[in-house]
Structure 1
Amino acid sequence: MALINITLQGKGGVGKSFINSLLMQYYAKRQIEAQGFDTDPVNQTLAGYKAFPVKAVKLGDRDDEINPRYFDYLIEDIVALPENAAANIDNGASTFLPLLSYLLESQVLSMLREVGHEVRLHCVLVGGQALDDTLRGLAEVLVHLPDVPVVVWINEFVYGRVERNRPGMEPEGFEQTALYKKNKDRYHSLVRLPELRQSTYGFDIKQMTQARLSFEEAIASPDFKIMQKQRLKTTWSTLFNIMEEAML
């Protein structure tokens, strides 16, 4: 049946929508039918991409309301996906706890697997001051949703290396943490998005994402200069190979 990818992270601004856009492009290149779902009531970034089929999921009768029952409609859409398709659910920070509670109370993941779907959870880690927050978000996912494979995205694009630095000690990467070692059998894969030079590659990616363009669209766009397009080609090739190695 279908592959269901659910992004869960309680920390905002860590690249969840960018990662979902990468997944949409990855499946498109592999000629796999993919359907996106944007559940963020505050900032529906993924739904802003015209290149992808993305459904904006309404979660209440008002924009400032989250009614867990509205998640039922999302699940109905997922169950109806065709065989061998992929679903990418982009979940915002404001809906992290409501969706987590819904998945727990309704035993949604067990039901999806019972009808034949494969489910993977995706969680993002970033460096800097947000590292501890994103580690706590991952820990909540691991504790509350056991027995589901987790893809950890180590996003070094903007915030730099995802590691702790303590005086007199070697830097501690994610693989050296107790959270990794204790749950090693839970991880489907670790996907490392490498650190970029912000004045060149980082600027190009930012311009592309702000315009809600795919790599293919940006490379074909007259708004990007020759060397920008060359850097985007290189970046997309690198990222695609990383995702291939992670068997996403």
Structure 2
Amino acid sequence: MKNIHLIMMGKGGVGKSTIAVLLAQALKRKMAGLRCADLDPTNATFSGYPALDAKHYDIADDDFNIDPSEFDRLMEDILTSESDWVIDTGAATFLPLMNYLIQNKLIAFLEENNRRVIIHAPLVGGPAMDETIRGLQAILKIGTASVVVWENDFFGPVEKNGKRFLQTAGYEQFKSRVLGLVHLVKRDPKQSEKDLLAMNERRLTWDEALTDPKFLIMSRQRLTVMRREIDEQIDAVEF
């Protein structure tokens, strides 16, 4: 069965594209022919990484509703390929896309066609935490798709009343659907975080950054440590 990885969240600026980039690189290490798609109508970051070759699909009309003709092109490409996919969706189309998936029973349809849908959802700390929690709850209530939760500490610790996601009642309720958890740890902003931001701003993959002389030796070492920690967590998820 082929896997369709959807990165989804209704709140913008919480790391969806970063998750898509990290996930695509980890999966490309293990498989040939991975396909990447960017559905974000306003900030197509994922397709800005040349090495990942993510195709942009303009699935939204001027009112950010789903354009069926463009979405059909995406579905045609998915269903006629023998590849796994990583698909970065946009915050602006979160609710229309959720409704479109439900109305057309697309998760079940993809499963009937030997494609398993896995939704990757970021949780962040700080002011946006409650909104990402609500987004995750909405995702867990649709269909039967498995979910991978990404705890992104770059905006603050992802804790609610002193509890992380795995300690909450929400996890207990839906744990049969949760394939795994990836924790993006915020490090010293003067060092590791600065290196990661520089890599992302230049739209570089790990491999590109680690061979780029513009990154000093210790910067490349810090990136190597981060890559190892993140890839190990992704590899631990049973896709």
Q: What is the TM-score normalised by the length of structure 2?
A: 0.94
| Distance of 2:171 and 2:196 partners within structure 1 | 29
Question: Corresponding residue for 1:16?
Answer: 16
1:129 equivalent to 2:127? Answer yes
- The alpha-carbon deviation at position 61 of structure 1 amounts to 6.2
**Is the 8 Å Cα contact of residues 66 and 93 (structure 2) preserved in structure 1?**
no
1:68 equivalent to 2:64? Answer no
Taking structure 1 as reference, are residues 186 and 42 closer, same or farther at Cα in structure 2, changes over 3 Å only? same
Question: Corresponding residue for 1:150?
Answer: 147
| Distance of 1:177 and 1:90 partners within structure 2 | 27
- Return the letter of the residue paired with 2:21: S
**Is the 8 Å Cα contact of residues 34 and 53 (structure 1) preserved in structure 2?**
no
**Is the 8 Å Cα contact of residues 68 and 98 (structure 1) preserved in structure 2?**
no
- The alpha-carbon deviation at position 160 of structure 1 amounts to 2.8
Q: Deviations over 1:179-225 (max 9, x none)?
A: 11211211111111222211111000000001110011011112211
1:124-203 equivalences under 5 Å are 124-143=122-141, 145-156=142-153, 158-165=154-161, 171-203=162-194
For the aligned residue pairs, the C-alpha RMSD in angstroms reads 1.5
**Is the 8 Å Cα contact of residues 219 and 233 (structure 1) preserved in structure 2?**
yes
Question: Corresponding residue for 2:34?
Answer: 34
| Distance of 1:214 and 1:146 partners within structure 2 | 33
**Is the 8 Å Cα contact of residues 147 and 186 (structure 1) preserved in structure 2?**
yes
Q: Moved runs in structure 1, 4+ residues, more than 6 A?
A: none
Question: Corresponding residue for 2:92?
Answer: 94
| Distance of 2:61 and 2:236 partners within structure 1 | 42
- Return the letter of the residue paired with 1:161: P
Q: Deviations over 1:101-144 (max 9, x none)?
A: 1101111111111011121111110111111110000011111x
- The alpha-carbon deviation at position 146 of structure 1 amounts to 3.0
- Aligned residue-pair number: 238
Q: What is the TM-score normalised by the length of structure 1?
A: 0.91
| Distance of 2:60 and 2:125 partners within structure 1 | 34
| Distance of 2:155 and 2:188 partners within structure 1 | 11
